Structure 1
Amino acid sequence: MSEHRVRFAALFDAEVRPHNERFRAAAAVQPGEDVLDVGCGTGESTREAAQAGATALGVDVSEQAIAKARELGGASFEVADVQTHAFPAAAFDVVLSRFGAMFFADPAAAFANLARALRPGGRLVLLVWQERDRNEWYSVLHDAVAPGTTPPPAGPHFSLGDQSHTDALLRGAGFADVEFTELREPVCYGPDAATACEFALGLKDVQELFAGGDPQSVTRLRDAFAAHETPDGVMLGARTWIVTARLSRA
């Protein structure tokens, strides 16, 4: 996935542009703040924090993604697993994560570690997918690649979609004032059906659905994307949450 993430770095960023604009506004990064961007990928959200005048550090477990982020520059980047990484205590004003926090194998440990890295009163801002059955883009992929089959269990990227679960997780790590803002904006899979198909074939969701090996799957996928072509690209419905919280003061 890392190689695919780097190869399609620009498209991954463009895919969620309307969601990212709202996420950036919710983060409201201020000049002089210290910002930690978790699961930063190739670093767009980290660079945006730096452009707002913050001192920004982006971290990701993918060495390939961090290498690309460093190549693009504009902020500091480090390979790190936030579940275990020894961040300086109370070093950051803001922790951001744009579609990165859903992948923690041990989310309780990860959010507790992030809480230790935040200053008292510091804020956490996440952009996460809502539950899978609320996202049209997954239905389009499933119905094209594996029609008539039962989808496999939802992947980790939907792990924070349930509000009650995520609220309890964050409060258990020491956060307060947890709020959810719903976004309903399309995601863009590319400028045309051919690009969208190439992009989708590298996604884990699609690769899982291809387990049956139906030779017509690629054709159906390309046709499905063609049906969603617009002047702005191949647009599929999506729902996300912007999750905001503050670290409780001692």
Structure 2
Amino acid sequence: MTIVNTHQSEAWNGYEGTHWADHHDRYDALNSGFNDHLLQFAGDGDQVLDIGCGNGQVTRLAARRARGATGVDLSTPMLSTARALAAAEGIANIDFQQGDAQIHPFPAESYDLAISRFGIMFFADPVTAFANIARALRPGGRVAFLCMRDLADNDLRSVFAAMAEHLPPAPASPDGTSPASLSDPARIHEIFTAAGYTEVAATPVEAEQVWGRDAQDAADFLAAWGPTRFHLSHADPAAAARATAALVPALAPYERDGAVRLRGAAYLITAVRP
């Protein structure tokens, strides 16, 4: 496998990918409220390409609606989980491939729809990546991608603010990317237009995200989440302990109906390959 996003490959084949694979059910509970925003575009005659497919929930759901679905991801642990879950569900019209979507040799003009649930924010060269995906689409092919909006638009803002009182500023990612790299609609239009797409739109969408059974359970999970763990690792142990302890009272106001439920905010990016 040839890769250019080496830092992302190391993360998703290390702790980050293992944590997502080991807790695939929790991550799906966290993000599945956004699924219908993507799946509304999948028709029964479509070949679907899922970028950054992770543990494959969206790929499996797309395969059930479409003629076939292919998931692509960097992560060996998550792809192993994705394949096992697809086999357990008896889904035959599905394929999972390991690759860096920025340079992966997708078969040209083979897909009708490319989708992604928060798997597109970490490309070192996003114009090159989305142009490569465009080449995999048939003329008139569509994309439907979800990316994070600014943290200020998400309920996580107040939770992270409680932690920030005890921590130094978050260090920059080693590869310069971040979960919020596509949080500006103007930048989205610029990138996708440069990559050759037309009819580019960035529509704000929201969904409820379940982080745990109660505040303590959610705090334990959030503290082990890759971005939080990365931030905590750059603080001294005492400060990290105070920040972690601040999570439970910060999450407690979001407990209702047997779960911790936070509002998540995203952009639904849609565009067409001419």
Q: Give the alignment's TM-score, normalised by structure 2.
A: 0.84
1:44-85 alpha-carbon deviations (Å, 9 max, x no partner)? 010011110321000100011101100111321111111111
The runs of 5 or more residues in structure 1 that have no matched partner are none
Code of the residue aligned with 2:179 in structure 1: it is H
1:202-241 equivalent positions in 2, closer than 5 A: 202-210=224-232, 211-212=234-235, 213=237, 214=239, 215-241=241-267
After TM superposition, the runs of 4+ consecutive aligned structure 1 residues lying more than 6 A away are: none
Residue 24 (structure 2) pairs with residue 9 (structure 1): yes
Q: Within 2, Cα distance between the matches of 1:53 and 1:100?
A: 20
Corresponding residue for residue 137 of structure 2: 118
TM-aligned CA distance change 1:72 to 1:224, over 3 Å? same
Q: Within 1, Cα distance between the matches of 2:254 and 2:167?
A: 22
Corresponding residue for residue 100 of structure 2: 81
The runs of 5 or more residues in structure 2 that have no matched partner are 1-15
SS of 2:81 mapped into structure 1: helix
Code of the residue aligned with 2:259 in structure 1: it is G
Code of the residue aligned with 2:31 in structure 1: it is V
1:177-205 alpha-carbon deviations (Å, 9 max, x no partner)? 01122113332111222321222122233
Q: Within 2, Cα distance between the matches of 1:10 and 1:119?
A: 33
Code of the residue aligned with 1:121 in structure 2: it is G
Residue 269 (structure 2) pairs with residue 243 (structure 1): yes
Corresponding residue for residue 54 of structure 1: 67
Equivalent residue for 1:192, pick from 204, 209, 214:
214
**Deviation at residue 17 of structure 1 after TM alignment:** 2.7
1:84-131 alpha-carbon deviations (Å, 9 max, x no partner)? 111111111111111001111211111010011111110010011112
**Deviation at residue 9 of structure 1 after TM alignment:** 0.7
1:131-176 alpha-carbon deviations (Å, 9 max, x no partner)? 2232221431x22322166743586211111101011100111100
Q: Is the 8 A contact 1:145 1:209 kept in 2?
A: no
1:39-188 equivalent positions in 2, closer than 5 A: 39-73=52-86, 74=91, 75-140=94-159, 142-147=160-165, 151-152=169-170, 156-188=178-210
Q: Is the 8 A contact 2:33 2:207 kept in 1?
A: yes
Q: Within 2, Cα distance between the matches of 1:59 and 1:185?
A: 24
**Deviation at residue 40 of structure 1 after TM alignment:** 0.3
Q: Is the 8 A contact 1:145 1:206 kept in 2?
A: no
Q: Within 2, Cα distance between the matches of 1:148 and 1:163?
A: 32
Q: Within 1, Cα distance between the matches of 2:265 and 2:227?
A: 17
Q: Within 2, Cα distance between the matches of 1:53 and 1:23?
A: 13
Aligned residues: 245
Code of the residue aligned with 1:244 in structure 2: it is T
Q: Is the 8 A contact 1:8 1:199 kept in 2?
A: no
Code of the residue aligned with 2:145 in structure 1: it is L
Q: Is the 8 A contact 1:33 1:55 kept in 2?
A: yes
1:187-224 alpha-carbon deviations (Å, 9 max, x no partner)? 21112223212221222331233232322222211222
SS of 2:45 mapped into structure 1: coil
Moved more, 5-14 or 231-240: 231-240
Code of the residue aligned with 1:82 in structure 2: it is A
